[in-house]
Amino acid sequence: MNVGLKRILRAGLVCLLLSLLPASGQTGGQQKPLMSEDVFKNIQVLKGIPVNQFMETMGFFSAALGYNCTNCHGTEVLGNWEKYANDTSVKQTARRMVLVVNTINQSLFAGREAVTCYTCHRGSPTPKVVPSLLEQYSEPPADDPNEVEISPRAPATPTADDTLNRYIQALGGAQRLAGLTSLVGKGSYDGFDSYHGKVALEVYAKNTGQRTVIVHTQNGDNVTVYDGRNAWIMGPDKPVSVLQLVPGGDMDGVKLDADLAFPNGLKQILTELRAGFPTTTINDREVQVVQAMAGGSRVKLFFDKQTGLLTRVVRYSKTIVGPVPTQIDYSDYREVAGVKMPFQWRLTWTDGQSMFSLDDLQPNVAIDPAKFAKPVAAEAPVVAPAKVAQ
């Protein structure tokens, strides 16, 4: 089975599993986050982490080993989510290896995540122990632009400030950007959760830092909301009907998405700006790279060297077993009220890939404040037990 098909199957299985969960709402403001052991069964070494980080950890395992759900949990889980709690030899090995990796990092690297599952597996179920002469004497594969790092010998020119200033000018200039107060977009979405068919998409954003994305899938709405302080995700493929994100990781990413919709203040929002990366390319076009911190998360921004426009953002979420990358590629820039805006963006992460395409983007229109409120899940049938098996 090829890797792409494996990942599609894995993502589909996750959706099937999680869609069988009972509704579990959260009320009020920021509450104590739901931990993995609050929702899932038979959790042993992955206790004490938020639910969304637990799911990202599953994605990390899958990316490191090239696996889908059945490779670890067994084919008997198909159509019977209770069996996800059953122990298998692969799950037991994974638990032991998490402890081994943690011991190595603690004893040899002062707790730094220097070694992860990916260090040895590199997308293969079995770590390789014999050097490959073919790899040694063949042409090396193309470099992954996401992995480019600052060279101590490379001058930091252009500076991070220079690159961000050029980006603002390429979009239309600070004055025109300041004239944008809101954006309402309509279009289509294509992803694993829509069975790779096109479904309706809505985007709402305000320059006060608020942003909502609604995808109308065949099984119900997938919604991501950031109200300027709190963030929620809702959908039939989520571990709970409405999940409030905790600070860091995913919440940093949702906030950055909102900030990028009105990028005039990027230099104030991003911290620890760094430049000086060697030349790299994306789709055969040279890009300039700026690294920064967005909240508590490291991000890389890739700007087209010729146009100055933002081509890609990669952000890194921490999990208990290592950092997980999320990549967003921007394209199809069009003018809206004199400002160039991306009408298409592709989201790639360890559990799949999704395409967001806008057909229409209206500036400076009134938006009902309710669009940025905590989403309300559709009433779901009562299903027992209250936890999902893992």
Query: Helix, strand or coil for residue 375?
Result: coil
Q: Which two tokens mark 175?
A: 């004055």
Decide if 118 contacts 59 (C-beta within 8 A). Answer: no
Instruction: Give me the residue spans of the domains in the chain.
Output: 3-129
Q: How far, rounded to the nearest angstrom, does the alpha carbon of residue 33 sit from its chain's CA centroid?
A: 19
Q: How far is CA 104 from CA 5, 61, 101, 343, in A?
A: 33, 18, 5, 45
Q: Which helix (H) or strand (E) holds 317?
A: strand 310-319
Alpha carbon distance 376, 183 (integer Å): 23
Mean pLDDT of the chain: 86
* The CA-based dihedral angle spanning residues 261, 264, 269, 274, taken in that order and rounded to the nearest 10 degrees: 110
* The CA-based dihedral angle spanning residues 165, 168, 169, 173, taken in that order and rounded to the nearest 10 degrees: -120
Q: Which two tokens mark 124?
A: 């293969």
Q: pLDDT value at position 13?
A: 41
pLDDT tens profile 24-35: 333 444 567 788
The mean pLDDT value for 295-316 works out to 96
What ranges in 76-155 are assigned the alpha helix state H? 89-108, 117-121, 133-137
Q: Measured on CA atoms in the order 318, 324, 113, 71, is the torsion positive or negative?
A: positive
pLDDT tens profile 170-211: 999 999 999 999 999 999 999 988 999 999 999 999 999 999
pLDDT band for 23, please (50, 70, 90 cuts).
very low
Q: pLDDT value at position 174?
A: 96
Q: Measured on CA atoms in the order 144, 301, 111, 61, is the torsion positive or negative?
A: negative
Query: Helix, strand or coil for residue 250?
Result: helix
Decide if 199 contacts 188 (C-beta within 8 A). Answer: yes
Judged against a pLDDT cut of 80, whether residue 366 lies above it is answered with yes
Alpha carbon distance 44, 296 (integer Å): 27
| Long-range contacts, 375-383 (Cβ 8 Å, 24+) | 375/221, 375/223, 375/225, 375/232, 375/234, 375/242, 376/242, 377/23, 377/25, 377/234, 377/241, 377/242, 378/220, 378/221, 379/23, 380/22, 380/23, 380/241, 382/22, 383/20, 383/21, 383/22
Q: What is the percent of the chain with per-residue pLDDT over 90, rounded to a whole number?
A: 51
The mean pLDDT value for 243-258 works out to 91
Q: pLDDT value at position 28?
A: 43
pLDDT tens profile 42-99: 888 888 888 888 888 888 888 888 888 888 888 887 767 677 788 888 888 989 998 9
1-10 per-residue burial string, b: 16 or more CB within 10 A, e: under 16: eeeeebbbbb
Poorest-pLDDT segment among 148-162, 251-265, 300-314:
148-162
Judged against a pLDDT cut of 80, whether residue 118 lies above it is answered with yes
Strand-strand pairing, 322-336 and 310-319 = antiparallel
For the entire predicted model, the pTM comes to: 0.84
Q: pLDDT value at position 31?
A: 63
pLDDT tens profile 317-328: 888 888 899 999
CATH topology of domain 3-129: Photosynthetic Reaction Center, subunit C; domain 2 (1.10.468)
Residue indicated by tokens 């603002």 = 168
Question: Residues for the chain: how many in total?
Answer: 390
Alpha carbon distance 193, 235 (integer Å): 10
